[in-house]
Structure 1
Amino acid sequence: MTPSTAERPQMPIEDFEDLVAVAPAHVRLEFVDGRVRTKDPLSVEDFEELERRAPETVRLEYINGKLEVKAMPDGNHSEIFWWLLEQCARHRPALRLHPERGVKTEAYRKGRAITDGFLVPKGHLRGHGNWSPSDGALMAVEITSHDRDTNQRDRIDKPVGYAEADIPVYLLIDRDNNTVVVYSEPKDGRYQQIVSHPWGTPVELPDPIGFTLDTEELKDYAD
């Protein structure tokens, strides 16, 4: 990761000001060192109200009881998602990989994460609101973005949140390390199996998914 990437703020100051303008009166926000923070503890209910009011250019998550901002995807990020979607559709046509799906995570469903991909059976999201329960999900997917919070969010916090929600597989497509990391067998809030594969090698997705990813194309999107 380059120094310029490490110092990239979560959002432009203009987006922060727009968010402040629509925030509930009792939710006090501040912009510190390029990050959005709340001045007071934030409940999940207050988070959901803030997220409903947020401008469409701002994507908010609630991770470990804290407000987080999810980076907007760049072109390579989008191409990688479509690469994965096509393979899922080819191997498991009875499933659907939904992009940017809000999911209830962590213990007691107290987290709110926007997955880059959410693999579920066709029709599974029928009747769901903004935040889907994790029940019946097969896989959560994150594709790292080049922002300074990626390490904590995608490699540390989200594996715990998805494991606590009993999502069978967490797939991390790591653009900083050019690897695909497969987390599986959630138990007691942790994934028991974590296997890392360099781009260009076959990646076996365990049950309940049960097919092998061809990752050769990912080399085209190395930054």
Structure 2
Amino acid sequence: MAIRFPDRPVRPGVLRRLVGQAPDPKGFRVEIIRGRIVLSPTPSFKHSGIVQRVAGRIRGGLEQGRGALQRHSIASPHDPDDYCTPDLVVVPAAIEDEDGWLLDADTVDLAVEVLSPGNAPSDVLAKLEEYAAWHIPVYLFIDPRDGTAVVYSEPSDGKYRTVH
């Protein structure tokens, strides 16, 4: 099934609906970042292993009532189309009982991204800026190419004030 996009500008909120109606591209996950459809390949085993190890460590230190979930999308509070799908999020555990797939940004305590080589510009720049603008309190970015991890926190005026 092919979806034909209109020749005129798409009204806010319609792009997400059109993407949702399109057939899932095999082997890819879909995000809409800054009005652009971004396809990410299925993660490598190494990528998934890193996410699993981080999730295990995070889960051990969470407050009661919080959960660490993998591959759930966060809706932009500023654009009715945009959403990002981090590798891991920390959210209220009660979300695990809901049927939805799209988190409100204000429910997310932490977003974790492990760099995918084919998605470096999205993971490094766009998501960093978006998560800060969405007031995600903490963003953990891991680059397996060089073994680095950077923690961004204290979002204010669309930027993270603290970097470790």
Within the alignment, does 1:77 sit opposite 2:71 as a pair? Answer: no
| Aligned-partner Cα distance in 2 for 1:103–1:125 | 15
Compared with structure 1, are the counterparts of its residues 175 and 51 closer, same or farther at alpha carbon in structure 2 (3 Å cutoff)?
A: farther
Contact 1:106 1:160 (C-alpha < 8 Å) held by counterparts? no
Does residue 134 (structure 1) correspond to residue 142 (structure 2)? The answer is no
TM-score by length of 2: 0.86
User: Quick check: 1:192 aligned with 2:133?
Assistant: no
Q: Distance in 2 between matches of 1:106 and 1:158?
A: 14
* Cα distance, 1:54 vs structure 2: 2.9
> In 2, are the aligned partners of 1:106 and 1:163 still within 8 Å (CA)?
no
* TM-score, normalising length: structure 1: 0.65
Give the partner amino acid of 1:22.
Answer: A
Distance 1:99 1:166 in 2: 20
What is the 5 A alignment of 1:90-101? 90-92=60-62, 94=64, 95-101=66-72
Aligned-partner SS, 1:92: coil
Question: Distance in 1 between the 2:115 and 2:55 partners?
Answer: 16
Determine the structure 2 residue equivalent to 1:107.
Answer: 78
- Kindly report structure 1 stretches of 4+ aligned residues shifted beyond 6 Å: none
The one-letter code matched in structure 1 to 2:33 is I
Work out the percentage of aligned pairs sharing the same amino acid: 24
C-alpha distance in structure 2 between counterparts of 1:69 and 1:163, whole Å = 22
2:2 is matched with which residue: 14, 17, 22?
22
Q: Which amino acid is the alignment partner of residue 51 of structure 2?
A: F
Count of matched residue pairs: 161
Q: Distance in 2 between matches of 1:76 and 1:160?
A: 26
Structure 2 unaligned spans of 5+? none
Larger Rg: 1
Structure 1 residues 60 and 41, CA gap change in structure 2 (3 angstroms): farther
- What residue in structure 2 maps to residue 153 of structure 1? 122
Q: Summarize the alignment of residues 1-223 of structure 1 with structure 2, pairs less than 5 Å apart.
A: 21-23=1-3, 25=4, 27=5, 41-42=9-10, 43-55=12-24, 57=26, 58-92=28-62, 94=64, 95-105=66-76, 107-108=78-79, 110-124=81-95, 126-127=97-98, 129-147=100-118, 149-150=119-120, 152-195=121-164
Q: Indicate conservation of the 8 Å contact 1:98/1:119, yes or no.
A: yes
1:106 Cα deviation (Å)? Answer: 6.0
* Long gaps (5+) in structure 1: 1-20, 29-38, 196-223
The one-letter code matched in structure 1 to 2:2 is V
Against the structure 1 CA distance between its residues 109 and 72, is the aligned structure 2 distance closer, same or farther, given a 3 Å change threshold? same
